[in-house]
Structure 1
Amino acid sequence: MSLAGFSAPWWFLLLLVVAAVVVGYVLAQRARRKRTMRFSNLALLEKVAPRAQGWPRHVPAALLIVSLLLLTVALAGPTAEQKVPRNRATVMLVIDVSLSMEATDVKPSRLKAAQDAATQFAQGLTPGINLGLVSFAGTATVLVAPTTERQSVVNAIGNLKLAQSTATGEGIYAALQAISGFSAVVGGAQGPPPARIVLMSDGKQTVPEDLYAPRGAFTAAGEAKKEHVPISTISFGTSHGTVVIAGREVPVDVDDGSLQEVARLSGGDFYRAGSAEQLKEVYSDLGEQIGYEIKKADASRPWVVLGTLSLIAAAGGALFLGQRLP
């Protein structure tokens, strides 16, 4: 047992008292046996002394010792890791609305599947999370600033419209700006709440073509790293998606590589979703990671309950077996 798992381990010094009680009980039993053996008339002793109860007479004392041990552990403040809802955090949901999202390789379409999954994600987030929404194609727009009010985000997701080009870097910069503005308002004495960007895209950046350009995705990811805002990227779609542009069928394969690099550069995680079901699973996992945190919580209650029950059993056993308390 590690003392690191207890909030007040110095209470374990009471174990010395418990040990003293055990030693005292053993010595008392030996002294009693010696006094009995000194009785000169053994025949008379057998008639007047109560019949020996054997080992059961030690049960109340044993239960008392167990109770003291359990209550000592409870006083030491045992802790356990528990998953608890976050009471403050900021999440910006950044969704690609370029024309490639019209592809139907994911039924009924990439955009519709993305809307359904994002809506489920927004509705499932814990109440303490401030959620905002950014859409991007050739430019980026902050549709909803971070808020705990979910319906505005859900409505905005449902009204997403497709546009030309893919400026992934602009989407990231817009999210960072929204986070910065929100943090400046709600920071307070505790400082700004932890933030994260969830970026979902199905294609490679086209504006600008250079990902390392000043407004490129990789440059934006590096800026997110500096501001301690990890980006969780979701690559959504398949390798056989196509859309019709100006009467011509154009392949719109997903670009896993660039999204993996964005996640790596920002200190975030990369996810791959090739179907609507997989996308919902990814969002569900992200909801668990973002909405909850592992904290050390008090775990003394079971020890108190067991210790109290043992004490009651010790008292009951003593009264039943010896007509007196131990």
Structure 2
Amino acid sequence: MSISKFASPWWLVFALVVVALAVTYLYAQRRRRRHLLRFSNLELLESVAPQQPGRLRHVPIALILVGLLLFTVALAGPTKDKKVPRNRATVILVIDVSLSMESTDVKPSRLEAAQEAGKAFADGLTPGINLGLVTFAGTASVLVSPTPNRNETKSAIDQIKLSERTATGEGIFTALQSIQTLGAVLGGGEEPPPARIVLLSDGKQTVPESPDDPRGGYTAAREAKNQNVPISTISFGTSYGTVDIPNESGGSERVPVPVDDPSLREIANLSGGQFFTASSLEELTKVYDTLEEQIGYETTRGDASRPWLILGVVLTTAGLATALVYRQRLP
């Protein structure tokens, strides 16, 4: 029975009444004992007074007083934080589909691992969340507009195709536009529904060259901050990843494609989101599990008086029952 705050703390003053009752009871017991000791002839006292109960006679009143204290706490309206599933929230999963995702430093490949974990992420989100899917390479595309239908997202993830270049900013701007469109459709409130972008990428932005360009990743992250849409970035892969790129002679050239943690961390910081790293399918799954917990639920303050009421009723009833059974009268 944990509590953090009281809705009506002034009811706790009633505890002083309970304390006063306890003091009055103790005083009455002492006074009763003094009256009994006035009999100088103990044999006569035993003959005219019934046998006095032992210390167990105090049990009923003790139970009732404790029950009253519990009722007092319940009346004060104890509250505690509770996790409840979010409703009307929007999440856009933004996945990098540049050629570097072919790298096999993550088994079976970066892309296949990202697909598997992405589908598990879709299944794990609470039903009240609208999930959308955006992919980006040289340009960005909305594959699934935000919807509670997880099958659409999972089917689109299976159909992902790789392409050249990496335009991280375009992926973020496209996700923001998708969020705005859904907010306009839903309406019904003074503020748009809460939204989050989950961005998975493995490499450095190549289009445009500077992330501070008007269409760059950092600029997009600042705009996300302005729109109150935090970006959770996931740097997926290792520092030793490579891919084979076809060359003009008809062969292929092995090119290193290390992950770019600094830029993804900065995007998360600029947007007010969090930065994660994952170098295996297992690690990526754990990251998504963490995000599901953060995104899928919100903490609200709720009533916590019921346990106090239940225990108060139990103890008070036990006190009255004990008094009737043990002493054949109420205390």
Task: Bin the TM-score by the shorter chain.
Answer: over 0.9
The amino acid across from 2:302 in the alignment is A
Unaligned runs of 5+ in 1: none
Judged with a 3 Å threshold, the aligned counterparts in structure 2 of structure 1 residues 325 and 190 are, in CA distance, closer, same or farther, namely farther
Query: TM-score under structure 2 normalisation?
Result: 0.93
Deviation at 1:42, TM superposition (A): 4.3
* Deviation digits for residues 90-144 of structure 1 (CA, Å, limit 9, x no counterpart): 1110000011111111111111000000100011001111111100011000111
Q: How does 1:94-133 map to 2 (within 5 A)?
A: 94-133=94-133
Deviation at 1:183, TM superposition (A): 1.2
Query: Relative to structure 2, which stretch is displaced further, 17-26 or 58-67?
Result: 17-26
The amino acid across from 2:326 in the alignment is L
In 1, distance between residues paired with 2:42 and 2:187? 85
Q: Is the contact made by 1:3 and 1:9 (CA closer than 8 Å) also made in structure 2?
A: no
Instruction: Report SS of the residue matched to 1:325.
Output: coil
The amino acid across from 1:98 in the alignment is S
* Deviation digits for residues 234-281 of structure 1 (CA, Å, limit 9, x no counterpart): 000111211111122111111111111111111111111111111111
Which of residues 259, 266, 271 in structure 1 aligns to 2:264? 259
Query: Relative to structure 2, which stretch is displaced further, 109-118 or 43-52?
Result: 43-52
Unaligned runs of 5+ in 2: 247-251
Q: Is the contact made by 2:3 and 2:79 (CA closer than 8 Å) also made in structure 1?
A: no
In 2, distance between residues paired with 1:82 and 1:258? 35
Match status 1:27 vs 2:6: no
| CA RMSD across the alignment | 1.7
Deviation at 1:194, TM superposition (A): 1.1
The amino acid across from 1:65 in the alignment is L
Q: Identity over aligned residues, as a percent?
A: 63
User: In the alignment, what sits opposite 1:5?
Assistant: 5
Q: Is the contact made by 2:3 and 2:304 (CA closer than 8 Å) also made in structure 1?
A: no
Which of residues 316, 320, 325 in structure 1 aligns to 2:325? 320
In 1, distance between residues paired with 2:103 and 2:198? 22
Deviation at 1:34, TM superposition (A): 4.1
In 2, distance between residues paired with 1:114 and 1:3? 41
Which of residues 285, 294, 297 in structure 1 aligns to 2:290? 285
User: In the alignment, what sits opposite 2:249?
Assistant: none
Counting matched residue pairs gives: 325
In 1, distance between residues paired with 2:191 and 2:260? 36
The amino acid across from 2:44 in the alignment is L
Instruction: Report SS of the residue matched to 2:43.
Output: helix
Q: How does 1:115-264 map to 2 (within 5 A)?
A: 115-246=115-246, 247-264=252-269
In 1, distance between residues paired with 2:217 and 2:83? 34
Q: Is the contact made by 1:67 and 1:307 (CA closer than 8 Å) also made in structure 2?
A: yes
Deviation at 1:313, TM superposition (A): 1.6
The amino acid across from 1:114 in the alignment is A
Query: TM-score under structure 1 normalisation?
Result: 0.95
Instruction: Report SS of the residue matched to 1:312.
Output: helix
In 2, distance between residues paired with 1:126 and 1:296? 20
